[in-house]
Amino acid sequence: MKTKYLFIVILSLLYFSSCTKDNYNLMENPENLNQANDNYYNPTQLKSTTVFLVSQDFESASKTSYAAANVAFGSESWLLNDALLGTTTSDRKNNLKSVRIRYVGTLEMNYDVQNAGNVSFYYAKYGTDGNSAFDVQYSTNGGSSWTTLGSCSVTSTTLQTAEFEANVSGNVRFRILKTSGGSARINIDDFQISEMQIASVESLSENFESANKTSYTAASITINSNSWYLGDALVGTTTSDRKNGTKSVRIRNVGSLAMNFDVADATNVTFYYAKYGTDGNSAFNFQYSTNGGSSWTTVGSCSVTSTSLTQASFDVNISGNARFRVLKTSGGSARINIDDFVINSGSSSSNTTEPTRDDNLAMGNPSNALFNVAYYTNYLMTKDQFTISYNSQKSCANWVSWHLSSAWLGDAPRFSGDFYKDATLPSGWYQVLDGDYTNTGFDRGHMCPSADRNGDYYDNKATFVTTNIVPQAPYNNQRAWKELEDYCRDLAEAGYEMYIISGTYGTGGTGTYGYATTIDGGNINVPNAVWKVIVVLPVGSNDVSRVNTSTTVISVYMPNQDLGSTPWTSFCQSVDYIENKTGYDLLSNIPVSTQSTIESRVFNGSLL
């Protein structure tokens, strides 16, 4: 097992090569609107989740002419110039409408937002039109002048996701300006702007496992926690690289590892360091910047004399925003490794009475899933609402992991549309649609439940993506399974927070029409069983560090068949039992000594 902190935040790192600035997918891909009737329903962790300043799907207004005009979408006013709202079958859209732009038209905000982080949206060619391109621009003076953030080429009739890192402080507005292609038209849909990530965190952890950089050439890379600058440094994977997992940062000469982003109110920073291979001794400085990296102050230094990983710990106690870097200062070409970078921020108290939205993968990555198309049976998909290991051969999740507290709960209505395909799946992978479950005898069974994400409309909508559902026997899904889901939400309302991992096992279940191994003509695997592991803690902070041998863990393993009225408690098993079945390491971020105790127990009580 690997005892370390895995931090997954905000960005799903899907790159689209048609854009001249790195593009990532943050949004779901909602499809048709029609109620489905046969279903029921982020080491230590980040204490903030993505906040969207703008989330516009263009559904609430009409404009049928290309003539320039302002259009009101609720309280938001947008200028559509040489653009209209398209509703035809040739318009590429996620629902009923999208913006259609021609010539050098624009889609432009008539209002400002403050402290914009990332801008993301979908785009595609209209109908059979030719290729074209557009710029994404921003203005900090109310639209008097515009600065280009990046560009995209539009070459596909399938909706693609564009995302641009803006990170603009103060008032700002954005526009999409079509720049080439003449009369060839483009569609734009689901425009979102997230709040700039000056994170209020209990701790930020980066283990560099999702990073890829094989050259020493200076460059910024975006990985799980955010964007990092590696100067004369790369991501090492060899046997000579000292590391806790499969990767660590390797620095040579006077290279550096630096954050390209700020955190708020940092109190302490820790990381591991060692000599690479048989290289000689060297040293580094640990530094911070409070002005966005314009200048740096040295906190302390370390000599690197051992090939065994050693932990460095620096008390910084900086109020306000700061970023950090490791700067190699001596040793010439002798190389060093850096791994498991953790920033503790905010109050040093380990307890808080205020529930928060935390890291969905805080307890560990059970199958070491990776965001890499080569891992087609164990493909990591990181969303704001939950994290998935997806199996493209089975067309469903291996497991889904999420955090639950009352901070995720609210009064948002249940999404009334169909389940929709996941636009973040790699090109060419089979896309599950809502209708693939129709008349199969199996429910569209949520892994992360709809009602666990009803604090916000878009969070609830996200749970209806088809990568979050599995074929589940109706009287499993609607009875014992649902009762356990309700119990978890009751715990959240009673002052607990939970880290939940839910998954599937095997092949072959029994639905309304009898036993089946697959549905949808063999495309979707029917699991033999569904399971769930729930780590229960009183609301607090530094959650992984608070897990001890007395922590309550609820684990269930349910056959995928009609369970009648049998209560969920009858299906309790130990975590060890589920690990032995699946081969997963379910709570890998918890110290091994603690795991051995809590994973061997079977829950047989009640917390309410």
Active site residues: 446
Q: CA-CA distance, 575 to 589, in Å (whole number)?
A: 14
For residues 438 and 520, give the distance between their C-alpha atoms in angstroms, rounded to a whole number. 9
**472, 504 contact by CB (below 8 A):** no
Residue 199 to residue 298: CA distance in whole angstroms: 22
Instruction: Give yes or no for a contact between 162 and 121, defined as CB atoms under 8 angstroms apart.
Output: yes
Tell me which H or E stretch contains 457: helix 457-462
- 259 φ/ψ angles, rounded to the nearest 5 degrees: -75, 135
Round the CA-based radius of gyration of the chain to a whole number and report it. Answer: 25
Is residue 286 within 8 Å of 329, Cβ to Cβ?
A: no
* CA 314 remoteness from chain centre: 29
Cα 376 to Cα 366: distance, rounded to the nearest angstrom: 16
User: What secondary structure does DSSP assign to 231-286, as a single string?
Assistant: EEEEEE-STTS--SSS-EEEEEEEEEEEESS-EESEEEEEEEEEE-TT---EEEEE
State the Cα–Cα distance between residues 20 and 16, nearest whole angstrom.
9
For 273, residues 6+ apart whose C-beta sits below 8 A from its C-beta are 284, 302, 304, 309, 310, 312, 326, 336, 337, 338, 339
Which of 580, 557, 551 lies closest to 570 in space, CA to CA?
557
Residues counted in the chain: 608
Residue position matching structure tokens 């903030």: 48
Query: Residue 84 and residue 461: Cα distance in Å, rounded?
Result: 26
CB 326 within 8 A of CB 288: no
Q: Are 527 and 505 in contact (CB under 8 A)?
A: yes
429's tokens: 């992978």
Burial-class residue 117 by CB neighbours within 10 Å (0-12, 13-18, 19+).
buried
CA proximity to 209, closest of 364, 79, 96, 359: 364
Alpha-carbon gap, residue 424 to 371, rounded angstroms: 11
List all residues 6 or more positions away from 140 whose beta carbon is below 8 Å from its beta carbon: 147, 168, 170, 171, 172
- For residue 146, give the nearest of 131, 132, 136 by alpha carbon: 136
Q: Which two tokens stand for residue 560?
A: 């995928």
- Phi and psi at 568, nearest 5°, equal -60, -30
Could you tell me the CA-to-CA distances from 236 to 221, 245, 330, 336 in Å, in that order?
14, 11, 20, 10
CB count in 10 Å sphere of residue 156: 15
Are 28 and 159 in contact, with CB atoms under 8 Å apart? Answer: no
Cα 238–chain centre separation: 28
For residue 543, give the H/E element and its range: helix 543-546
